[in-house]
Amino acid sequence: MSDPHNETPALLQPKRERQRNWLPSLVWLIPIIAAVVGLTLVAKILVDRGPVVTISFRSAEGLEAGKTKVKFKDVDIGQVQAISLSEDRSYVLVTVQLTKEAAGFNAEDTRFWVVRPRVAASGISGLGTLLSGAYIGADAGNSKESKKEFTGLESPPIVTRDASGKQFVLHTTDLGSLDIGSPVFYRRIKVGQVMAYDLDSDGKGVTLRVFVNAPYDKFISIDSRFWHASGFDMQINASGFKLHTQSLATVVLGGIAFRDKDEDQAGTPAKEGAEFILADDESTAMKEPDGQPQTVLLYFNQSLRGLQPGATVDFRGVVLGEVRSIGVEYDREKGEFRMPVVMVIYPDRLGSKFNSAVNDPRYSHKMRLQYLVKRGLRAQLRNGNLLTGQLYVAIDFFPKAPPVQIDVDKMPLQLPTIPGSLDEIQTQIADIASKLSKVPFDQIGSDLQQTIKTLNKTLSSAEQMVNRLNNDIAPEVSAAMKDARKTLNAAERTLSDDAPLQQDIRGTMQELSRAAASIRVLTDYLQQHPESLIRGKQEK
């Protein structure tokens, strides 16, 4: 038998247990966490993402997909996602992803534009994009309707919708030097700017839209007057030289100014969209309305050199209108050419009293016109500038003008004319020249030559006579002068104070004085005693 203590114990076998499958491995935690974070970010992006819009531009200059931002008041509200060409390759399509906060920027009247460095009439803008790059600017709309496709503006809008103020409409015949962004001034302070302009449908004028910022818009009333403030306004008159300008910017870029006609009284504020007339200058804007124009036709039989369309029609210093056109036509009845001039005048400029007389129902228009023409109403060309030779039409009364019959029923109204003062001078000079040509200058010259010959002979005879007088008569005249001198010396000796003749005459005068005294005494005695002539003197 074997010893039990010497038996080898049996080897212990390990117990196998199955691994539990429901416990995840730590290796999978990382991708799971990454997926959760990614899904969270995607969800956040989807939640924060706003609408997607497509904007069309003529060019994609400065725009980059994934980089170019969309900003509103310098706040990012979106980003450019893609840029592509249109089917006809005439423009580019820019796809923009807006943020959740910019959900209202897909309104139908929203405006988009590219902000780049620009130099315009309103100034220099977009200089900040030189470093940061171009971006798309936005102006939120107010429409309740939304859309996904927009047409971008090629230039930034002058006035955004959040600006406070009013818009007004101006009508003018010529745009002048104005442009979008041109300033609007009130007392030389910039209060607004030109928003837009367009040609009228009939092509005879221009319509402008201007925006006046608050609170300056309250200064525009229904009686406000607007005028071009561009360039310089120079006046030279009896008061001297005057120069007016709003600012240096208006000289280069143009501008508009306005003020009330009567600044002493507050006018009724104008409503937004009110329409006004834009005058050429301040003086034209502030004058009274011209009323209805009247077309007048003139015929001149003289040269119209120096007369141009736009020339002044003047009545004793008052401008009544202007010349519209000049021409030439052939008169078959007289067989000569005449020069028609069409002008437009404003009768209201002659004053209220004239207008009341014109509107007097007791007198017809024909009667008044015939009366004025009968008194000498005529049109005349006059020189307005001696240096340039410019002419203007003067209407005045010429009482000595020959009578003229006019057809008052003819339209347009035809007014008689008289030659200008320069033509009259030329006519007088021509008459003088014709008279001078009839003078027989040859005959007068020959007669003058004969007269000169006769005068030469006369002068020769006179010279011979003078020589004879010097030779024959002069000695005798000298002897006679000597005898006369002797006679005068003798007379001087006779009439001197110590001459005997003077002493005798003096004694005789004394005797005569004593005799006169005796006679005076005798006369006095006879007046007192006339009887003494008979009785004799009585002794006392």
pLDDT for the residue numbered 238: 42
Residue with tokens 């212990």: 12
Mean pLDDT throughout 112-116? 89
DSSP state string for 198-237 = EE-TTSS-EEEEEEEETTGGGG-BTTEEEEE--S-EEEEE
Instruction: Quote the CA–CA distance of 78 and 53 in Å, as a whole number.
Output: 10
Q: Other CB atoms closer than 10 Å to residue 28's CB: what's the count? A: 9
Instruction: Quote the CA–CA distance of 270 and 221 in Å, as a whole number.
Output: 5
Confidence band for 263, pLDDT divided at 50, 70 and 90 = confident
pLDDT for the residue numbered 237: 44
- For the ranges 456-465, 490-499, 526-535, the maximum mean pLDDT occurs at 456-465
CA 190 to chain centroid, in Å, comes to: 22
CB-neighbour burial class of residue 59 (10 A; exposed 0-12, middle 13-18, buried 19+): exposed
pLDDT for the residue numbered 497: 66
CA 92 vs CA 84, 117, 178, 287: distances in Å: 6, 20, 31, 52
Could you read off the pLDDT of 516-529 as tens digits, one per residue? 888 887 777 777 77
Residue 384 in 3-state DSSP?
coil
CA-based nearest residue to 300, from 326, 322, 320:
326
Asked if residues 245 and 253 have their Cβ atoms less than 8 Å apart, the reply is no
| 283 CB-near residues (< 8 Å, 6+ apart) | none
Strand 149-151, strand 49-57: pairing: parallel
Structure tokens at 250: 């208006």
User: Which H/E stretch holds residue 485?
Assistant: helix 474-494
pLDDT for the residue numbered 92: 93
Mean pLDDT throughout 210-239? 78
Whether residue 113 is predicted with pLDDT greater than 50 in this model: the reply is yes
Share of the chain above pLDDT 70, in %: 78
Mean pLDDT throughout 332-343? 87
Residue with tokens 């910019």: 102
pLDDT for the residue numbered 3: 52
| 72 CB-near residues (< 8 Å, 6+ apart) | 102, 105, 137, 138, 139, 140
Share of the chain above pLDDT 90, in %: 14
Positive or negative, the CA dihedral 125, 156, 183, 140 is negative
Helices (H), 9-159: 29-48, 129-132
Most distant CA atoms of the chain, gap in Å: 266
pLDDT for the residue numbered 83: 92
What's the pTM?
0.53
pLDDT for the residue numbered 267: 77
Mean pLDDT throughout 471-497? 73
Beta bridge partners of 76: 71
Structure tokens at 294: 């009247």
pLDDT for the residue numbered 244: 58
pLDDT for the residue numbered 163: 82
Instruction: Quote the CA–CA distance of 345 and 293 in Å, as a whole number.
Output: 6
Residue with tokens 């925006």: 211
Could you read off the pLDDT of 36-48 as tens digits, one per residue? 777 777 666 666 6
Q: What is the mean pLDDT of the chain?
A: 79
Asked if residues 246 and 259 have their Cβ atoms less than 8 Å apart, the reply is no
Structure tokens at 15: 């117990």
Q: Where are the domains of the chain?
A: 31-151, 165-286, 294-434, 500-534
